Copies of this chain bind each other. A is one copy, B any other.
Amino acid sequence: MKTTILIHCNDQSGIINAVTGYIHKNRGNVVYLDQHVDKETDVFFMRIESDFENEEFSIESFKKGFQKELADRYNMVWSIHQAVPKPKMALFVSKYNHCLYDLLSRFNSGELEVDIPFIISNHIDLQPIAQQFGIPFHHIPVTKQSKAEAEDAQLELLREHQIDFIVLARYMQIVSPKIIDNFPNKIINIHHSFLPAFAGAKPYHAAYKRGVKIIGATSHYVTEELDAGPIIEQDVTTVSHTHSIKDFIAKGRDLEKIVLARAVKLHVQRKTMVYNNKTVIFS
């Protein structure tokens, strides 16, 4: 059985030895170990992939022992994950289709190891793409008046399908705390700028006006403060005076879809840990 364990706690001497010893004692084999210490806050992070090939291995007793022998002693926040069942991912979209196409193509190819129970949109425009890929599409319009109600409907769908995480694939609405609080560090957004430059609306217009020579895209976990959550992935591309705003947008589309897909894959592979509004991204 393949497992991934994520741990963070105050940095203390002997943790790696203790954890690998416990895995060893349970006849597990450490396949990959990556570790990081945040020197500012003295917090220790670790990600371990292990194989447990013995027949008697019980994940439940492993967990109980881990809690008792390690987590209690070192005061760890920890979790253990298995590859199956696949995490359930909800897609929120509006009118732009490039990120949606890209994620669904990867999903169809088997590159993205998730289930996608549904797509939610505040507009009807992308329904044909959902149909094209055979994914249920829920049109939930959002207006100032209907926002609270719309979010209740969203939450109900999220709960009903036991969604694990949400991807905002150019969803052009601000997600309210009601939803964020239910999915802490589990909502992934793509912002079409090199954050923290050009947070907020119309970043390509702002970048054009400022005359930058490079534009970017940023994927981050959603927190209450707009475009200020922990950054998962960023990438950039060059622009010049010859490019119009329309060119910025076209070049940006390619950035956005690649950066968002990378962030989603990192999340699915349990390679992200969040602390202090920053991410540790394991390799």
Contact = CB atoms under 8 A, between A and B. Distances in A.
B250 A111 contact: yes
**Interface residues of chain A: helix, strand, loop or mixed (majority):** mixed
Interface in A26-77: 29-39
| Copies of this chain in the oligomer | 4
Given A17-B21, A105-B98, A109-B97, A233 B213 contact: yes
A4 interface: no
A89 to B, nearest CB: 18
A13 interface: yes
A242 interface: yes
A212 B241 contact: no
Contacts of A195: 197, 210, 212
A210 B194 contact: no
Interface stretch (A136-144, A152-160, A174-182, A275-283): A275-283
Contacts of A85: none
Interface of A: 13-14, 16-17, 20-21, 23-24, 29-39, 97-98, 101-102, 105, 108-109, 111, 132-133, 194-198, 210-214, 216, 230-236, 238, 240-242, 244, 250, 253-254, 258, 261, 277-281, 283
Contacts of A30: 13, 16-17
Given A21-B21, A37-B31, A197-B197, A105 B109 contact: no
Nearest to A111: B250
A17 B14 contact: no
Point out which of A20, A34, A210, A211 has the most chain B C-beta atoms below 10 A from its C-beta.
Answer: A211
Contact of A279 (B197, B198, B241): B241
A242 B105 contact: no
